[in-house]
Structure 1
């Protein structure tokens, strides 16, 4: 199989294809995220499904154009000459057959889904309004570019502009591939706007970042109670009051202690009286 695309344009085509694959990966991650969080029928999920479909259609069309570029351009030229003034050419250009089907899939599925939603917020965050504002702002730019392209195609759809043969120039080929980028960018837009919420960031971090590079959860430090110095000295003085100079425990001077002390002092007095009685005898 011989590739018909001009060699000077192969680099541009490969860059556009790699960018499209990046957008395809973004859509795939979004679908995984909504399924992992049981939001498979939410607004974000439906939007991810259709942007994925549009990106896949664009990649298929890129391969088709990459391989059969000359045949595609000749067939488009014949169709444009045979349908001068057709309103469909203003919308889809001279695309025919498979290219026409793929064009409608990649260009119109995503904008239609951007205007619908079911109001779920379990996977959203407090920046919900800002995220929707960004999405609709980009949608407005996308629609404006689409309208300008349609006007340009309609103005160029004349025999004077079409010429006597198909345009197979290098500039035309580069332009054909660069026009694939707006269609696939919706997938990346959905990921940037809705895939960067706190909930989704945690899931992506735990899944795709190797565990040895993940931050370990910090353990709580043991709780220690600091006793002031004056309290320590007071406790020492209180404990020392129970000991005499020889380190022996001193008797308690409470009510019970007074009775014990009296009992201890009465015993030697009785012995002295007994001794004195013997001497008198």
Structure 2
């Protein structure tokens, strides 16, 4: 069956569908990553499950609306005319039947995602302030975190059920409030947690800088915001940075979702006053664009949390052909040049160190590792042989005070 959409917007519809399918792939990859790294009950896992399901529901709605566009718009217009005061129709942009059920599910998913993010922010704040290191608070906070995950799933169900109460169905303000109360509370409380984390980070950063100036030494820390964070599975030392980016973008998404609801109220009011359904190209284009924000969190989740070193390596190992992986690890691809210039004396020391390594490796009985000749290079591991040859050439041909030192990939050769 051909799409009933106007021909002028068929390209837009295909583009939105492709965008949504790629988002579905991103969510699927995140679900695979969290299961592979034994993070199946983590906050990222919960977000991955919800984004996968919400994106899938959006794709179902798109196919339904695009294929039966004229029928859907006519049915929505007839219902809006018969129920002009229904807040359910207004805020869902006229959705009825299958579309309305899928809209309720996506509303639940967005609310649950927002709660997961805010409880995750609360958990990170505990780590930043080292609250879990205090014996009296540790057990209490662990229980709070467990309860928070359960509330993230249960509380949105309660609010969605309340939307079906008859009294709420008669009030647009009450319906709008209940539909977005979880999003607004999450945004407010999550912002407070992020501010607290930022304040702690700035305070600790200032102390580290001051201490480094006093001691005239650099401090290498494995902390963020002044407290030790344990990184495992899909996480890395940039966890707080990644989470901050995700929180900001998700906050924008939540605000955008509310704006689209207000736009739906306006469209529903217009439909109830029309003598026939609006099948114009402009309205069709607007309805298509309204599907874009829904799959967006899937991209965000993968870009922010699916690009850690652990995840990139796991994806490459799984999906890249074995021949590419072997080529990538071949020492003959070395050396790579850096932009840092070093004195010739450093190059001499580098050769001496590599010769010493080769001396012990080959088991030479010569009096000195300097006795290693070009013929004996055949017994030296390939990475050291490449480096010795390269450095020797650089010393003999360069007239500059500094030369380019190759950046060698670490070798496990023995």
Name the TM-score class by shorter chain. Answer: 0.7 to 0.9
* Residue in structure 1 matched with residue 69 of structure 2 by the alignment: 69
Is 1:224 the counterpart of 2:358 in the alignment? yes
Could you tell me which runs of 5 or more consecutive residues in structure 2 were left unpaired when the two chains were aligned.
124-229, 333-353, 360-366, 371-414
More strand by share: 2
TM-score, normalised on structure 1? 0.74
The offset of 1:217, in angstroms, is 5.7
Q: Taking structure 1 as reference, are residues 204 and 45 closer, same or farther at Cα in structure 2, changes over 3 Å only?
A: same
Alpha-carbon RMSD across the aligned residues, in angstroms, is: 2.6
**2:82 maps to what in 1?**
82
1:119-160 per-residue CA deviation (whole Å, 9 max, x = no partner) reads 585221111111111111112111221222222333444358
CA contact (8 A) 2:57 2:106 kept: yes
2:245 counterpart (111, 115, 134): 134
In structure 2, do the counterparts of structure 1 residues 127 and 4 end up closer, same or farther at CA, with 3 Å as the change threshold?
Answer: same
CA distance, structure 1, for counterparts of residue 272 and residue 78 of structure 2: 14
Aligned partner of residue 165 in structure 1, secondary structure:
coil
Q: TM-score w.r.t. structure 2 length?
A: 0.51
Asked if 1:193 corresponds to 2:283, the answer is: no
TM superposition shift of 1:43:
1.0
**1:124 and 2:235 are equivalent in the alignment:** yes
Question: Per the alignment, in what secondary structure is the counterpart of residue 124 of structure 1?
Answer: coil
1:39 positional shift? 1.1
SS where residue 28 of structure 2 aligns?
A: helix
State whether structure 2 residue 260 is matched by structure 1 residue 149: yes
> 1:270 maps to which residue?
none
Alignment of 1:4-23 (within 5 A): 4-23=4-23
CA contact (8 A) 1:76 1:95 kept: yes
Structure 1 alignment gaps of length 5 or more: 230-281
Aligned length: 229
In 2, the alpha carbon distance for the partners of 1:5 and 1:144 equals 29
